[in-house]
Amino acid sequence: MSETGRAALFFGPGKDMTITEFPVPDPEPGAMVVRVTRANICGSDLHIWRGDGWLGAMAREDGRIIGHEMTGVIHSMGDGVVTDWAGQPLAEGDRVVYQYFAPCGKCRSCLRGMTEACSTSFKVLQGKPSVFPHFRGAYADYFYVTPQMAVFKVPDQVTDTMVAGVNCALAQVVMGLDRVNVTMGDTVVIQGAGGLGLYATAVAKERGAEKVIVIDALADRLELARLMGADEIIDMSEVTSMNDRLTRVKELTGGWGADVVCELVGRAAAISEGLPMLGLGGRYLEIGTFYPGSSLELDPGLLVMKNIRIEAVAAYDANSLQQAVCFLDRHVHDLPLDQVVVDYPLEAINDAFADQDAGKVTRASLVMT
Ligand SMILES: [Zn+2]
Ligand SMILES: [Zn+2]
């Protein structure tokens, strides 16, 4: 009998996931099979699990393997796989990170160099789990890395807990801050000190931001934001009115307003609050509210009068993933990058989701052994 691996199948919001075995695929030329070592539950996985917005439609009767934030070791390589995307030699057993989506390289976006806006890159996640290559999501013993997915070797000193979030939040933030071109001397407001916001704080400082102001309501997150390099924090549990927070941002930016504001909360209301924090010529980065279905009131005249630019970023390109890995390698010793995670075995995936949803744990992590 051929080798098999476990996968947790998701059937829809409110339904228990069940563990099923599938055959471990043989990789096609250019592809590889990774043995997943660790897969985190990200905020977007929770949205899918709850069926928020249009995400309820992601459920399949025959199940789906969800999860995307992960790392692992190479189990097998298809013909022609010799190096990672940075030219480093690869061998079975090497620790790697990779895109979980597959930019086609041929659509209008890809041809114009915007692989993060590929029209088909997420299709790879949608196939039936019973059909080759079976392993299309993180909550499983294996993950099938297609030839289109960028792969990078993980430096030895970067631990699995540091790197598991790199193919989601960190690469996303690297791409986003590049898009709004955070640069030397900028004042930057980070709305939300979750995974995205904490990484954004550190990346903005490294890009030369003069002052990074982080807004959140939770004391422990704000403390972490300080350790990640925040110059100022605004505690929403103390500064409870939106107007007072706006006034505080104005004070902290010499009366001008911020050069860049980043929405990393995941609520449309944060955008209504964040846009007025921008000064003339400011840039707004939208990443947090990633699924359609919400709305906000907006005064377009204010945007025009102030020459505001808005950038929204979903996914990321291969370069951003590589830069994210390099960023971790540079900051292993001076930033608290080892995410605080609570480990669960794959069999306990339903408890892991329930516990993270109830706020009992900040970040649950499935460990495959
Ligand atoms: Zn494409
Ligand atoms: Zn994620």
> Which pLDDT score is estimated for 305?
96
> Which pLDDT score is estimated for 49?
93
Tokens encoding 32: 């590889």
Residue 369: pLDDT band by 50, 70, 90 thresholds?
A: confident
Alpha carbon distance 68, 41 (integer Å): 8
Ligand nearest to the CA of 266: 2
Ligand nearest to the CA of 315: 2
Residues sharing a CB contact under 8 Å with residue 363, sequence separation 6 or more, in sequence order? 40, 41, 195, 339, 340, 341, 342, 356
Q: For residues 92-119, b (16+ Cβ closer than 10 Å) or e, as one string?
A: eebbbbbbbbbbbeebebbeeeebbbbe
- Separation of CA 104 and ligand 1 centre (Å): 4
Alpha carbon distance 66, 63 (integer Å): 9
Ligand nearest to the CA of 124: 1
Burial (CB < 10 A; 0-12, 13-18, 19+), residue 38, is buried
Report how far Cα 204 is from the mean position of its chain's Cα atoms: 16
pTM over 0.85: yes
What's the mean pLDDT in 125-141? 94
Percentage of the chain beyond pLDDT 70 is: 100
- On the question of pLDDT at 1 being above 70, the answer is no
- On the question of pLDDT at 117 being above 80, the answer is yes
What's the mean pLDDT in 68-94? 98
Residue 69: pLDDT band by 50, 70, 90 thresholds?
A: very high
Structural domains of the chain sorted by starting position, each given as residue range(s) with its CATH number in brackets: 4-165+339-367 (3.90.180.10), 170-312 (3.40.50.720)
